[in-house]
Amino acid sequence: MQSQTQPVQHTLTIDNKKLLTATAIEGVVSFSPVRLTLTYAGGKIAVEGSDMKITSFSKQTGAFSAGGTILSVRYLSSGGGLKKKLLK
């Protein structure tokens, strides 16, 4: 009997534009006080704001949190977009 791997459930919560918490985060690609980029199974997440600080991250559990002023969150495709497809 084959066991099927269940997809990891990813969540992202922003509390009062001051605290971002997320689950199923695989890594931190880049970080500055105004922008951070995270990876998860579906691709990347770009977070923009000001005075941002990572308050916790566990690579083992995927739990992540950051504080500061959160202005925007964008999910970026893992496919590389049109430019990558054209230059193939």
> Which amino acid is located at 49 in the chain?
G
Q: Which domain holds residue 39?
A: 12-77
Q: What is the mean pLDDT of residues 43-47?
A: 95
Q: What is the reported pLDDT for 61?
A: 95
Q: What is the reported pLDDT for 42?
A: 86
Q: What is the mean pLDDT of residues 58-85?
A: 83
Indicate whether 53 belongs to any domain: yes
If you compute the radius of gyration of the chain from its CA atoms, what whole number of angstroms results?
15
pLDDT surpasses 70 at 80: no
Q: What is the mean pLDDT of residues 34-47?
A: 94
- The reported pTM is 0.79
How many folded domains does the chain comprise? 1
The CATH number assigned to the domain holding 54 equals 2.60.40.2000
Pairing of strands 43-57, 25-31: unpaired
